[in-house]
Homo-oligomer: A and B are copies of this chain.
Amino acid sequence: MQTHDRKMLVIIGEAALEKSLVRDARSFGAHGYTIADVRGGGERGDREARWEADRSIEMKMICDAAVAEKLAQHVLASYAPNYALTLFTADVGVFRPQKF
């Protein structure tokens, strides 16, 4: 069975961004998204998920390269200056190309 190339854009950041990120993902044309609760640490210190202000999420979207690129650009410009945030992309293969 053949797989089709897509991009997976992964955004790790403050839980406060969840609503906005979901809205953005939809408006930039991602067909879906998946979110997990995570904890972690980076430039902006440790985020241990002990209480509201300290929670982080990891959001992943599978989409075509163009959508991933535009969404990433928007997220970087809108949130990266002020929020704990990590972004990366990876190449993935999907089986149902029309779905993503």
Contacts and interface: CB of A to CB of B under 8 A. Distances in A.
B87 A90 contact: no
Interface in A65-100: 69, 72-73, 76, 80, 86-96, 99
A72 B93 CA distance: 12
B38 A12 contact: no
Given A6-B88, A62-B86, 13 more contacts: A1-B72, A3-B88, A22-B41, A32-B40, A32-B41, A33-B40, A34-B39, A34-B40, A36-B37, A37-B37, A42-B99, A89-B93, A90-B93
Interface of A: 1, 3, 6, 8, 10, 12, 22, 31-43, 56, 58, 62, 69, 72-73, 76, 80, 86-96, 99
